[in-house]
Chains A and B, each alone.
Chain A
Amino acid sequence: MRSHAKRLPSRPVILLLQICVLIGFFGLWHVLTVSTNLLSPFFFGTPGAVLERTFKDFASGVIWYHLGITLLETALAFVIGTVAGIAFGFWFARAPLVSVVFDPYIKAVNALPRVVLAPIFALWLGLGIWSKVALGVTLVFFIVFFNVYQGVKEVSPVVLANARMLGANSRHLFRHVYLPSALSWVFSSLHTAVGFAMVGAVVGEYLGSAAGLGYRIHQAEGVFDTVGVFSGMLVLTIFVVAIDAAVTMIEKRLLHWRPQEAQTTQT
Protein backbone atom coordinates (compact mmCIF):
# COMPACT_ATOMS: atom_id res chain seq x y z
CA MET A 1 0.00 0.00 0.00
CA ARG A 2 2.81 2.35 0.88
CA SER A 3 4.84 1.77 -2.23
CA HIS A 4 5.29 5.48 -2.79
CA ALA A 5 6.10 6.37 0.81
CA LYS A 6 9.63 7.43 1.58
CA ARG A 7 11.96 4.49 2.11
CA LEU A 8 12.81 4.06 5.79
CA PRO A 9 16.25 2.92 6.95
CA SER A 10 16.64 -0.71 7.99
CA ARG A 11 15.54 -2.04 11.38
CA PRO A 12 18.95 -1.99 13.11
CA VAL A 13 19.44 1.64 12.11
CA ILE A 14 16.00 2.55 13.48
CA LEU A 15 16.78 0.70 16.71
CA LEU A 16 20.06 2.55 17.00
CA LEU A 17 18.30 5.89 16.54
CA GLN A 18 15.73 4.92 19.15
CA ILE A 19 18.49 4.10 21.64
CA CYS A 20 20.11 7.44 20.84
CA VAL A 21 16.90 9.21 21.86
CA LEU A 22 16.91 7.36 25.18
CA ILE A 23 20.57 8.16 25.85
CA GLY A 24 19.96 11.76 24.79
CA PHE A 25 17.08 12.07 27.26
CA PHE A 26 19.14 10.69 30.16
CA GLY A 27 22.14 12.78 29.07
CA LEU A 28 20.10 15.99 29.05
CA TRP A 29 18.66 15.10 32.44
CA HIS A 30 22.18 14.47 33.75
CA VAL A 31 23.51 17.74 32.33
CA LEU A 32 20.65 19.80 33.73
CA THR A 33 20.79 18.32 37.23
CA VAL A 34 24.39 17.25 37.90
CA SER A 35 26.74 19.09 35.54
CA THR A 36 25.13 22.54 35.47
CA ASN A 37 22.80 22.37 38.46
CA LEU A 38 20.12 24.29 36.53
CA LEU A 39 17.52 21.96 38.08
CA SER A 40 17.77 20.95 41.69
CA PRO A 41 18.53 17.24 42.16
CA PHE A 42 16.28 17.37 45.20
CA PHE A 43 13.21 18.02 43.05
CA PHE A 44 14.29 16.30 39.85
CA GLY A 45 16.54 13.49 41.04
CA THR A 46 19.51 12.47 38.92
CA PRO A 47 19.52 9.71 36.32
CA GLY A 48 22.46 8.02 38.00
CA ALA A 49 20.73 7.83 41.36
CA VAL A 50 17.44 6.66 39.82
CA LEU A 51 19.13 3.86 37.87
CA GLU A 52 21.17 2.87 40.88
CA ARG A 53 18.10 2.74 43.12
CA THR A 54 16.16 0.71 40.54
CA PHE A 55 19.00 -1.72 40.14
CA LYS A 56 19.37 -2.09 43.89
CA ASP A 57 15.64 -2.73 44.30
CA PHE A 58 15.74 -5.48 41.71
CA ALA A 59 18.98 -6.95 43.05
CA SER A 60 17.79 -7.05 46.65
CA GLY A 61 14.46 -8.46 45.53
CA VAL A 62 12.27 -5.92 47.39
CA ILE A 63 10.58 -4.80 44.21
CA TRP A 64 9.53 -8.26 43.02
CA TYR A 65 6.95 -8.62 45.76
CA HIS A 66 5.34 -5.29 44.87
CA LEU A 67 5.56 -6.01 41.18
CA GLY A 68 3.88 -9.36 41.80
CA ILE A 69 1.00 -7.73 43.70
CA THR A 70 0.40 -5.15 40.97
CA LEU A 71 0.60 -7.83 38.29
CA LEU A 72 -1.90 -10.00 40.17
CA GLU A 73 -4.33 -7.10 40.53
CA THR A 74 -3.94 -6.21 36.85
CA ALA A 75 -4.52 -9.80 35.75
CA LEU A 76 -7.58 -10.27 37.95
CA ALA A 77 -9.09 -6.95 36.88
CA PHE A 78 -8.48 -7.80 33.25
CA VAL A 79 -9.93 -11.32 33.39
CA ILE A 80 -13.01 -10.44 35.47
CA GLY A 81 -13.68 -7.25 33.47
CA THR A 82 -13.29 -9.08 30.15
CA VAL A 83 -15.52 -12.01 31.05
CA ALA A 84 -18.22 -9.71 32.42
CA GLY A 85 -17.88 -7.41 29.40
CA ILE A 86 -18.28 -10.29 26.95
CA ALA A 87 -21.27 -11.71 28.82
CA PHE A 88 -23.10 -8.39 29.08
CA GLY A 89 -22.07 -7.31 25.59
CA PHE A 90 -23.68 -10.43 24.14
CA TRP A 91 -26.76 -10.13 26.28
CA PHE A 92 -27.33 -6.48 25.33
CA ALA A 93 -26.65 -7.05 21.64
CA ARG A 94 -29.09 -9.97 21.48
CA ALA A 95 -31.82 -8.40 23.62
CA PRO A 96 -32.75 -5.06 22.04
CA LEU A 97 -35.23 -4.17 24.80
CA VAL A 98 -32.60 -4.54 27.53
CA SER A 99 -30.15 -2.52 25.49
CA VAL A 100 -32.64 0.31 24.88
CA VAL A 101 -33.77 0.50 28.52
CA PHE A 102 -30.28 0.44 30.02
CA ASP A 103 -28.64 2.60 27.37
CA PRO A 104 -28.73 5.95 29.29
CA TYR A 105 -27.50 4.31 32.49
CA ILE A 106 -24.63 2.55 30.77
CA LYS A 107 -23.62 5.85 29.23
CA ALA A 108 -23.94 7.65 32.57
CA VAL A 109 -21.79 5.14 34.44
CA ASN A 110 -19.24 5.11 31.66
CA ALA A 111 -19.04 8.90 31.76
CA LEU A 112 -18.33 8.85 35.50
CA PRO A 113 -14.61 9.33 36.28
CA ARG A 114 -13.95 5.94 37.85
CA VAL A 115 -11.21 7.26 40.13
CA VAL A 116 -13.84 8.69 42.46
CA LEU A 117 -14.99 5.13 43.11
CA ALA A 118 -11.62 4.12 44.55
CA PRO A 119 -12.29 5.35 48.11
CA ILE A 120 -15.68 3.64 48.09
CA PHE A 121 -14.14 0.35 46.98
CA ALA A 122 -11.49 0.72 49.67
CA LEU A 123 -14.30 1.22 52.18
CA TRP A 124 -16.22 -1.82 50.96
CA LEU A 125 -13.42 -4.20 50.18
CA GLY A 126 -10.64 -3.08 52.47
CA LEU A 127 -7.09 -2.11 51.64
CA GLY A 128 -6.14 -5.50 50.17
CA ILE A 129 -6.00 -6.34 46.47
CA TRP A 130 -9.76 -6.59 45.87
CA SER A 131 -10.48 -2.88 46.10
CA LYS A 132 -7.87 -2.36 43.33
CA VAL A 133 -9.26 -5.22 41.29
CA ALA A 134 -12.73 -3.71 41.56
CA LEU A 135 -11.48 -0.36 40.30
CA GLY A 136 -9.70 -2.04 37.40
CA VAL A 137 -12.83 -4.04 36.55
CA THR A 138 -14.96 -0.89 36.28
CA LEU A 139 -12.47 0.42 33.74
CA VAL A 140 -11.95 -2.77 31.71
CA PHE A 141 -15.60 -3.80 31.69
CA PHE A 142 -16.83 -0.88 29.61
CA ILE A 143 -14.10 -1.13 26.99
CA VAL A 144 -14.81 -4.82 26.45
CA PHE A 145 -18.56 -4.36 26.76
CA PHE A 146 -18.77 -1.73 24.02
CA ASN A 147 -16.47 -3.71 21.74
CA VAL A 148 -18.41 -6.95 22.10
CA TYR A 149 -21.69 -5.11 21.61
CA GLN A 150 -20.30 -3.58 18.42
CA GLY A 151 -18.78 -6.89 17.31
CA VAL A 152 -22.08 -8.74 17.61
CA LYS A 153 -24.05 -5.93 15.96
CA GLU A 154 -21.65 -5.64 13.04
CA VAL A 155 -21.60 -9.26 11.98
CA SER A 156 -22.05 -9.23 8.21
CA PRO A 157 -25.67 -10.19 7.43
CA VAL A 158 -24.44 -12.14 4.40
CA VAL A 159 -22.04 -14.24 6.48
CA LEU A 160 -24.87 -14.83 8.92
CA ALA A 161 -27.35 -15.82 6.18
CA ASN A 162 -24.73 -18.08 4.62
CA ALA A 163 -24.11 -19.89 7.91
CA ARG A 164 -27.85 -20.34 8.37
CA MET A 165 -28.22 -21.72 4.85
CA LEU A 166 -25.44 -24.18 5.64
CA GLY A 167 -27.55 -25.47 8.49
CA ALA A 168 -26.28 -23.59 11.54
CA ASN A 169 -28.60 -23.51 14.53
CA SER A 170 -28.44 -20.71 17.10
CA ARG A 171 -25.72 -22.49 19.10
CA HIS A 172 -23.60 -22.88 15.98
CA LEU A 173 -24.16 -19.26 15.06
CA PHE A 174 -22.91 -18.20 18.48
CA ARG A 175 -19.82 -20.38 18.36
CA HIS A 176 -18.88 -20.02 14.71
CA VAL A 177 -20.06 -16.53 13.84
CA TYR A 178 -20.94 -14.19 16.72
CA LEU A 179 -18.17 -15.20 19.11
CA PRO A 180 -15.25 -15.00 16.63
CA SER A 181 -16.56 -11.69 15.35
CA ALA A 182 -16.93 -10.25 18.86
CA LEU A 183 -13.57 -11.63 19.97
CA SER A 184 -11.83 -9.96 17.08
CA TRP A 185 -13.14 -6.65 18.41
CA VAL A 186 -12.11 -7.56 21.95
CA PHE A 187 -8.61 -8.47 20.85
CA SER A 188 -8.25 -5.29 18.88
CA SER A 189 -8.91 -3.41 22.13
CA LEU A 190 -6.62 -5.67 24.15
CA HIS A 191 -3.91 -3.04 24.53
CA THR A 192 -6.35 -0.50 25.89
CA ALA A 193 -8.03 -3.01 28.19
CA VAL A 194 -4.76 -4.27 29.69
CA GLY A 195 -3.55 -0.69 30.06
CA PHE A 196 -6.70 0.29 31.91
CA ALA A 197 -6.54 -2.77 34.14
CA MET A 198 -3.14 -1.56 35.24
CA VAL A 199 -4.24 2.03 35.68
CA GLY A 200 -6.94 0.69 38.02
CA ALA A 201 -4.41 -1.32 40.00
CA VAL A 202 -1.81 1.42 40.35
CA VAL A 203 -4.27 4.24 41.08
CA GLY A 204 -6.00 2.04 43.64
CA GLU A 205 -2.69 1.29 45.32
CA TYR A 206 -1.74 4.91 45.23
CA LEU A 207 -4.90 5.94 47.03
CA GLY A 208 -4.61 3.43 49.84
CA SER A 209 -2.84 0.11 50.17
CA ALA A 210 0.01 -1.75 51.83
CA ALA A 211 1.76 -3.18 48.78
CA GLY A 212 2.26 -2.74 45.05
CA LEU A 213 4.05 -0.30 42.76
CA GLY A 214 1.52 2.47 43.38
CA TYR A 215 2.09 2.02 47.10
CA ARG A 216 5.88 2.33 46.61
CA ILE A 217 5.53 5.55 44.66
CA HIS A 218 3.13 6.96 47.23
CA GLN A 219 5.49 6.06 50.07
CA ALA A 220 8.43 7.72 48.34
CA GLU A 221 6.36 10.85 47.71
CA GLY A 222 5.42 11.01 51.37
CA VAL A 223 9.03 11.45 52.40
CA PHE A 224 10.08 13.69 49.49
CA ASP A 225 12.16 10.86 48.06
CA THR A 226 12.20 12.08 44.45
CA VAL A 227 14.64 9.41 43.39
CA GLY A 228 12.26 6.77 44.80
CA VAL A 229 9.33 8.25 42.85
CA PHE A 230 11.26 8.30 39.58
CA SER A 231 12.58 4.82 40.23
CA GLY A 232 9.01 3.61 40.78
CA MET A 233 7.93 5.27 37.53
CA LEU A 234 10.82 3.64 35.71
CA VAL A 235 9.87 0.17 36.97
CA LEU A 236 6.25 0.83 36.05
CA THR A 237 7.27 1.88 32.53
CA ILE A 238 9.44 -1.21 31.98
CA PHE A 239 6.58 -3.32 33.29
CA VAL A 240 4.05 -1.72 30.91
CA VAL A 241 6.34 -2.07 27.91
CA ALA A 242 6.87 -5.77 28.72
CA ILE A 243 3.14 -6.42 29.09
CA ASP A 244 2.40 -4.53 25.89
CA ALA A 245 4.92 -6.66 24.00
CA ALA A 246 3.30 -9.81 25.39
CA VAL A 247 -0.15 -8.55 24.31
CA THR A 248 1.15 -7.82 20.82
CA MET A 249 2.42 -11.39 20.59
CA ILE A 250 -0.89 -12.86 21.73
CA GLU A 251 -2.76 -10.58 19.33
CA LYS A 252 -0.65 -11.73 16.39
CA ARG A 253 -1.35 -15.35 17.21
CA LEU A 254 -5.08 -14.93 17.65
CA LEU A 255 -5.83 -12.52 14.84
CA HIS A 256 -3.76 -14.15 12.11
CA TRP A 257 -6.88 -14.43 9.95
CA ARG A 258 -7.14 -10.68 9.70
CA PRO A 259 -5.90 -8.92 6.59
CA GLN A 260 -2.67 -7.08 7.22
CA GLU A 261 -1.51 -4.07 5.32
CA ALA A 262 -0.16 -5.21 1.99
CA GLN A 263 3.51 -5.85 2.28
CA THR A 264 6.19 -6.78 -0.18
CA THR A 265 9.62 -8.06 0.62
CA GLN A 266 12.32 -5.46 0.39
CA THR A 267 15.75 -6.39 -0.82
Chain B
Amino acid sequence: MPQAMPDAAMTAPALSLPALSLEGVTCSFPSPDGRGQAYTAVRDASFTVADGEFVSIVGPTGSGKSTLLNVAAGLLRPSAGRALSFGAPVTGINPKAGYMFQAEALMPWKSALENVAAGLEFRGVAKREALDRARPWLARVGLDGFGDRHPHQLSGGMRKRVALAQTLIVDPKIVLMDEPFSALDIQTRQMMENELLDLWASDRKSVVFITHDLEEAIAMSDRVLVLSAGPGARLIGEYRIDLDRPRDVAEIRMTPRFLQLHQEIWGQLRDEVLKGYAQTKLR
Protein backbone atom coordinates (compact mmCIF):
# COMPACT_ATOMS: atom_id res chain seq x y z
CA MET B 1 0.00 0.00 0.00
CA PRO B 2 1.80 3.15 -1.14
CA GLN B 3 1.85 6.04 1.31
CA ALA B 4 0.19 8.58 -0.92
CA MET B 5 0.65 12.10 0.38
CA PRO B 6 -0.21 14.17 -2.66
CA ASP B 7 -0.32 17.49 -0.88
CA ALA B 8 2.96 18.33 0.84
CA ALA B 9 2.73 17.96 4.62
CA MET B 10 -0.17 17.42 6.98
CA THR B 11 0.13 20.85 8.51
CA ALA B 12 -1.85 23.95 7.75
CA PRO B 13 -0.20 27.35 7.30
CA ALA B 14 0.52 28.69 10.78
CA LEU B 15 -0.80 32.19 10.30
CA SER B 16 -2.89 32.10 13.44
CA LEU B 17 -3.37 29.39 16.03
CA PRO B 18 -5.05 26.38 14.40
CA ALA B 19 -8.70 25.91 15.33
CA LEU B 20 -7.94 22.30 16.00
CA SER B 21 -4.86 20.18 16.07
CA LEU B 22 -4.70 16.53 16.94
CA GLU B 23 -1.29 15.21 17.92
CA GLY B 24 -0.70 11.48 17.73
CA VAL B 25 -4.19 10.59 18.88
CA THR B 26 -4.77 6.88 19.56
CA CYS B 27 -8.07 5.58 20.88
CA SER B 28 -8.42 2.08 22.28
CA PHE B 29 -11.57 0.62 23.76
CA PRO B 30 -11.84 -2.41 26.02
CA SER B 31 -13.13 -5.37 24.01
CA PRO B 32 -16.86 -6.01 24.47
CA ASP B 33 -16.44 -9.32 26.30
CA GLY B 34 -14.19 -7.68 28.90
CA ARG B 35 -11.14 -9.84 28.20
CA GLY B 36 -8.73 -10.29 25.33
CA GLN B 37 -6.92 -7.34 23.83
CA ALA B 38 -8.41 -3.87 23.52
CA TYR B 39 -9.91 -2.71 20.26
CA THR B 40 -7.98 0.18 18.77
CA ALA B 41 -10.25 2.36 16.66
CA VAL B 42 -7.79 5.05 15.64
CA ARG B 43 -4.00 4.87 15.71
CA ASP B 44 -1.63 7.82 15.81
CA ALA B 45 -3.77 10.39 14.04
CA SER B 46 -2.32 13.88 13.61
CA PHE B 47 -3.81 16.74 11.66
CA THR B 48 -4.61 20.41 12.00
CA VAL B 49 -7.54 22.53 10.93
CA ALA B 50 -6.76 26.19 10.32
CA ASP B 51 -9.00 28.98 11.52
CA GLY B 52 -11.82 29.38 9.01
CA GLU B 53 -10.99 26.21 7.12
CA PHE B 54 -13.52 23.61 5.97
CA VAL B 55 -12.00 20.14 6.32
CA SER B 56 -13.71 16.85 5.55
CA ILE B 57 -12.64 13.46 6.81
CA VAL B 58 -13.67 10.50 4.68
CA GLY B 59 -13.16 6.83 5.36
CA PRO B 60 -14.92 3.50 5.17
CA THR B 61 -17.52 2.65 7.79
CA GLY B 62 -16.04 1.59 11.10
CA SER B 63 -12.85 3.55 10.55
CA GLY B 64 -13.25 5.63 13.70
CA LYS B 65 -14.24 8.92 12.08
CA SER B 66 -16.67 9.72 14.87
CA THR B 67 -14.03 8.78 17.44
CA LEU B 68 -11.74 11.53 16.16
CA LEU B 69 -14.58 14.03 16.33
CA ASN B 70 -15.44 13.01 19.89
CA VAL B 71 -11.82 13.58 20.87
CA ALA B 72 -11.91 17.05 19.30
CA ALA B 73 -15.17 17.80 21.13
CA GLY B 74 -13.74 16.67 24.44
CA LEU B 75 -16.39 13.98 24.84
CA LEU B 76 -13.74 11.27 24.65
CA ARG B 77 -10.29 11.23 26.22
CA PRO B 78 -7.76 9.67 23.84
CA SER B 79 -5.67 6.71 25.06
CA ALA B 80 -2.57 8.50 23.78
CA GLY B 81 -1.83 11.84 22.20
CA ARG B 82 -3.76 15.02 22.71
CA ALA B 83 -6.05 17.53 21.07
CA LEU B 84 -5.51 21.30 21.06
CA SER B 85 -8.13 23.86 20.16
CA PHE B 86 -6.79 27.36 19.46
CA GLY B 87 -3.67 26.41 21.37
CA ALA B 88 -5.50 25.22 24.49
CA PRO B 89 -5.40 21.49 25.34
CA VAL B 90 -8.85 19.93 25.20
CA THR B 91 -9.64 18.55 28.64
CA GLY B 92 -13.32 18.07 29.20
CA ILE B 93 -15.91 19.63 26.89
CA ASN B 94 -14.29 21.87 24.30
CA PRO B 95 -15.97 25.26 24.91
CA LYS B 96 -15.00 26.61 21.48
CA ALA B 97 -16.63 23.73 19.62
CA GLY B 98 -20.15 23.13 18.39
CA TYR B 99 -21.15 19.58 17.55
CA MET B 100 -23.78 18.44 15.11
CA PHE B 101 -24.51 14.78 15.73
CA GLN B 102 -25.39 12.09 13.25
CA ALA B 103 -28.22 10.76 15.42
CA GLU B 104 -31.22 12.70 16.67
CA ALA B 105 -29.93 15.02 19.36
CA LEU B 106 -32.77 17.49 19.83
CA MET B 107 -34.55 17.47 23.16
CA PRO B 108 -37.90 15.93 22.25
CA TRP B 109 -39.74 17.71 25.10
CA LYS B 110 -38.74 21.15 23.85
CA SER B 111 -40.26 22.92 20.87
CA ALA B 112 -38.08 23.78 17.88
CA LEU B 113 -37.66 27.34 19.15
CA GLU B 114 -36.80 26.20 22.68
CA ASN B 115 -34.29 23.74 21.27
CA VAL B 116 -32.54 26.48 19.32
CA ALA B 117 -32.57 28.75 22.38
CA ALA B 118 -31.22 26.05 24.73
CA GLY B 119 -27.54 26.83 24.17
CA LEU B 120 -28.07 30.49 25.03
CA GLU B 121 -30.04 29.56 28.14
CA PHE B 122 -27.22 27.29 29.27
CA ARG B 123 -24.88 30.26 28.87
CA GLY B 124 -26.94 32.33 31.28
CA VAL B 125 -29.10 34.30 28.85
CA ALA B 126 -32.60 34.91 30.27
CA LYS B 127 -35.21 32.63 28.73
CA ARG B 128 -37.20 35.44 27.09
CA GLU B 129 -34.17 36.98 25.45
CA ALA B 130 -32.87 33.57 24.40
CA LEU B 131 -36.16 32.84 22.63
CA ASP B 132 -36.11 36.26 20.96
CA ARG B 133 -32.63 35.63 19.66
CA ALA B 134 -33.54 32.11 18.52
CA ARG B 135 -36.34 33.33 16.25
CA PRO B 136 -34.12 34.91 13.56
CA TRP B 137 -31.99 31.77 13.59
CA LEU B 138 -35.00 29.61 12.84
CA ALA B 139 -35.76 31.97 9.96
CA ARG B 140 -32.18 31.66 8.73
CA VAL B 141 -32.53 27.90 8.41
CA GLY B 142 -35.90 28.37 6.69
CA LEU B 143 -38.16 27.33 9.54
CA ASP B 144 -39.99 30.58 10.13
CA GLY B 145 -43.35 29.72 11.67
CA PHE B 146 -42.34 26.24 12.82
CA GLY B 147 -41.05 27.40 16.20
CA ASP B 148 -43.77 25.86 18.34
CA ARG B 149 -43.58 22.43 16.71
CA HIS B 150 -41.97 19.64 18.64
CA PRO B 151 -39.26 17.53 16.99
CA HIS B 152 -41.61 14.61 16.32
CA GLN B 153 -43.85 16.96 14.34
CA LEU B 154 -41.02 17.93 11.99
CA SER B 155 -39.58 16.02 9.06
CA GLY B 156 -36.06 14.63 9.19
CA GLY B 157 -34.71 17.52 7.11
CA MET B 158 -36.41 20.08 9.34
CA ARG B 159 -34.98 18.47 12.45
CA LYS B 160 -31.51 18.75 10.93
CA ARG B 161 -32.09 22.45 10.27
CA VAL B 162 -33.16 22.95 13.88
CA ALA B 163 -30.02 21.10 14.97
CA LEU B 164 -27.91 23.31 12.70
CA ALA B 165 -29.43 26.50 14.16
CA GLN B 166 -29.06 25.05 17.66
CA THR B 167 -25.36 24.42 17.06
CA LEU B 168 -24.58 27.74 15.38
CA ILE B 169 -26.54 30.10 17.64
CA VAL B 170 -23.90 29.90 20.38
CA ASP B 171 -21.34 31.02 17.83
CA PRO B 172 -18.80 28.19 18.14
CA LYS B 173 -15.37 28.94 16.69
CA ILE B 174 -15.16 25.42 15.29
CA VAL B 175 -18.07 23.29 14.16
CA LEU B 176 -17.77 19.51 14.30
CA MET B 177 -20.23 17.69 12.05
CA ASP B 178 -20.66 13.94 12.16
CA GLU B 179 -22.37 12.82 8.95
CA PRO B 180 -25.08 15.37 9.69
CA PHE B 181 -27.02 14.82 6.47
CA SER B 182 -26.51 11.11 5.93
CA ALA B 183 -30.10 10.26 6.86
CA LEU B 184 -31.62 12.69 4.36
CA ASP B 185 -32.81 12.03 0.84
CA ILE B 186 -30.55 13.35 -1.91
CA GLN B 187 -32.53 16.50 -2.80
CA THR B 188 -32.98 17.64 0.78
CA ARG B 189 -29.37 16.82 1.35
CA GLN B 190 -28.02 18.99 -1.45
CA MET B 191 -30.24 21.82 -0.29
CA MET B 192 -28.90 21.50 3.25
CA GLU B 193 -25.32 21.34 1.94
CA ASN B 194 -25.77 24.58 0.02
CA GLU B 195 -27.40 26.22 3.03
CA LEU B 196 -24.52 25.12 5.20
CA LEU B 197 -22.01 26.54 2.71
CA ASP B 198 -23.91 29.84 2.66
CA LEU B 199 -23.96 30.05 6.44
CA TRP B 200 -20.30 29.09 6.53
CA ALA B 201 -19.34 31.70 3.93
CA SER B 202 -21.04 34.45 5.95
CA ASP B 203 -18.80 34.08 9.00
CA ARG B 204 -16.08 31.56 8.09
CA LYS B 205 -16.01 29.28 11.08
CA SER B 206 -13.71 26.29 11.04
CA VAL B 207 -15.58 23.14 10.13
CA VAL B 208 -14.61 19.50 10.53
CA PHE B 209 -17.03 17.52 8.44
CA ILE B 210 -17.21 13.75 8.73
CA THR B 211 -18.76 11.82 5.89
CA HIS B 212 -18.52 8.53 4.07
CA ASP B 213 -19.67 10.26 0.89
CA LEU B 214 -16.63 11.36 -1.08
CA GLU B 215 -18.62 13.60 -3.46
CA GLU B 216 -20.10 15.48 -0.52
CA ALA B 217 -16.63 15.88 0.97
CA ILE B 218 -15.10 17.28 -2.21
CA ALA B 219 -18.03 19.55 -2.98
CA MET B 220 -17.96 21.19 0.42
CA SER B 221 -14.38 21.33 1.64
CA ASP B 222 -11.08 23.13 1.37
CA ARG B 223 -9.27 19.96 2.27
CA VAL B 224 -10.15 16.25 2.38
CA LEU B 225 -8.44 13.81 4.72
CA VAL B 226 -8.64 10.09 4.04
CA LEU B 227 -8.79 7.60 6.91
CA SER B 228 -7.80 3.96 6.41
CA ALA B 229 -10.04 1.02 7.25
CA GLY B 230 -10.22 0.08 10.93
CA PRO B 231 -9.27 -1.31 13.34
CA GLY B 232 -6.33 0.94 14.06
CA ALA B 233 -7.34 3.42 11.38
CA ARG B 234 -4.70 5.97 10.35
CA LEU B 235 -4.80 9.10 8.27
CA ILE B 236 -3.36 8.05 4.93
CA GLY B 237 -4.09 10.88 2.57
CA GLU B 238 -4.62 14.60 2.34
CA TYR B 239 -5.99 16.45 -0.68
CA ARG B 240 -6.38 20.17 -1.15
CA ILE B 241 -9.61 21.00 -2.99
CA ASP B 242 -8.86 24.00 -5.21
CA LEU B 243 -12.38 24.48 -6.55
CA ASP B 244 -13.69 28.03 -6.74
CA ARG B 245 -16.13 29.36 -4.16
CA PRO B 246 -18.97 30.06 -3.86
CA ARG B 247 -19.97 26.60 -4.96
CA ASP B 248 -23.23 24.91 -5.76
CA VAL B 249 -22.87 21.35 -4.55
CA ALA B 250 -25.06 19.96 -7.32
CA GLU B 251 -23.44 21.82 -10.19
CA ILE B 252 -19.86 21.53 -9.09
CA ARG B 253 -20.07 17.76 -9.47
CA MET B 254 -20.13 18.20 -13.25
CA THR B 255 -16.90 20.21 -13.52
CA PRO B 256 -13.79 18.49 -14.91
CA ARG B 257 -11.63 19.47 -11.93
CA PHE B 258 -14.16 17.89 -9.56
CA LEU B 259 -14.09 14.65 -11.51
CA GLN B 260 -10.31 14.70 -11.58
CA LEU B 261 -10.11 15.16 -7.82
CA HIS B 262 -12.76 12.53 -7.29
CA GLN B 263 -10.87 10.02 -9.38
CA GLU B 264 -7.65 10.77 -7.58
CA ILE B 265 -9.06 10.41 -4.05
CA TRP B 266 -11.33 7.51 -4.90
CA GLY B 267 -8.31 5.61 -6.20
CA GLN B 268 -6.97 5.63 -2.66
CA LEU B 269 -10.26 5.33 -0.81
CA ARG B 270 -11.50 2.34 -2.81
CA ASP B 271 -8.84 0.02 -1.45
CA GLU B 272 -9.77 1.03 2.09
CA VAL B 273 -13.48 0.57 1.47
CA LEU B 274 -12.80 -2.91 0.14
CA LYS B 275 -10.66 -3.68 3.18
CA GLY B 276 -13.35 -2.35 5.48
CA TYR B 277 -15.94 -4.46 3.70
CA ALA B 278 -13.81 -7.57 4.09
CA GLN B 279 -13.48 -6.78 7.80
CA THR B 280 -17.22 -6.58 8.32
CA LYS B 281 -17.69 -9.87 6.49
CA LEU B 282 -15.18 -11.54 8.80
CA ARG B 283 -17.08 -10.50 11.91
> Contacts A158-B101, A161-B101 known; A166 to B122 CB distance under 8 Å?
yes
- Across the interface, which residues of A come within 8 angstroms of B121, CB to CB? 172, 176
Min distance, Cβ A164 to any Cβ of chain B, angstroms: 6
B108 CB contact (under 8 Å) in A164, A165, A169, A257: A257
- A168 / chain B contacts, CB cutoff of 8 Å: 118, 122
Chain A residues positioned under 8 Å from B98 (CB to CB)? 165-166
Q: Which of A156, A164, A167, A258 has the largest count of B CB atoms less than 10 A from its CB?
A: A167
B94 CB → nearest A CB, Å: 8
Residue of B nearest to A255 (CB): B109
Within 8 Å by CB of B118, from A158, A161, A176, lies: A176
- A158, A161, A181, A257: the one contacting B152 at CB < 8 Å is A257
Chain B's interface: helix, strand, loop or mixed, by majority? loop
1/0 per residue, CB under 8 A from A, across B154-192: the answer is 000000000000110010000000000000000000000
How many whole Å from B174's CB to the nearest CB in chain A?
12
For B122, give its contact among A167, A256, A258 (CB under 8 Å).
A167
**Cβ of B119 under 8 Å from chain A:** yes
Q: How many residues of A contact B (CB 8 A)?
A: 22
When distances are taken between beta carbons in the complex, the residues of chain B under 8 Å from A167 are 93, 95, 119, 122-123, 170
Interface residues of B, count at CB 8 A: 28
The answer to whether A169 touches B122, judged by C-beta atoms less than 8 angstroms apart, is yes
The answer for the CA separation of A163 and B150 in the assembled complex, in Å, is 17
A222 at the interface (CB under 8 A from B): no
Q: Whose C-beta in chain A lies nearest to the C-beta of B104? A: A158
Give A113 to B121 CA distance when docked, in angstroms: 47
The reply to whether B152 and A162 contact each other, CB–CB distance below 8 Å, is: no
CB–CB B106/A165 < 8 A:
no
CB distance from B27 to the nearest CB of A (A): 16
User: How far, in angstroms, from A158 to B104 measured CA to CA in the complex?
Assistant: 7
Q: Bound state CA distance, A176 and B98, in angstroms?
A: 19
**Would you call B138 an interface residue if the criterion is a C-beta within 8 Å of the partner chain's C-beta atoms?**
no
Contact across chains for A165 and B107 when beta carbons are under 8 A apart: no
CA–CA, A26 and B98, complex, Å: 66
Whole-angstrom distance between the alpha carbons of A256 and B151 in the complex? 11
Cβ contacts B191-211/A at 8 Å (1 or 0 each): 000000000000000000000
A192 close to chain B: CB less than 8 A: no
- In the complex, the answer to whether B122 meets A161 with C-beta atoms within 8 Å is no
The reply to whether A256 and B150 form a contact with Cβ atoms under 8 Å apart is yes
B93 and A158: CB pair below 8 A?
no
Chain B residues near A219: list those with CB within 8 A: none
CA distance A180 to B110 in the complex (A): 9
Measured in the bound complex, the distance between the Cα atoms of B110 and A172 in whole Å is: 14
Alpha-carbon separation in the docked complex, A163 to B110 (Å): 12
Q: Is A72 an interface residue (CB 8 A)?
A: no
Q: Which residues of A, 195-239, contact B by the 8 Å Cβ criterion?
A: none
Q: Are B152 and A258 in contact (CB under 8 A)?
A: yes
A249 to B121, CA, bound (A): 30
Which residues on the A side are within 8 Å of B170 (C-beta)?
A: 166-167
Which one of A159, A166, A177 has the greatest number of beta carbons of chain B within 10 Å?
A166
A-B contact pairs, 17 of them (CB 8 A): A158-B104, A159-B106, A161-B75, A162-B166, A163-B122, A164-B75, A166-B119, A166-B166, A167-B93, A167-B119, A169-B122, A176-B107, A177-B107, A180-B109, A257-B111, A257-B151, A259-B152
Chain B residues proximal to chain A, CB less than 8 Å: 73, 75, 93, 95, 97-99, 101, 103-111, 118-119, 121-123, 150-152, 166-167, 170
Beyond known contacts A161-B105, A176-B122: 10 more, CB 8 A cutoff: A158-B101, A158-B103, A162-B105, A163-B122, A165-B75, A165-B97, A166-B166, A168-B122, A176-B121, A177-B107
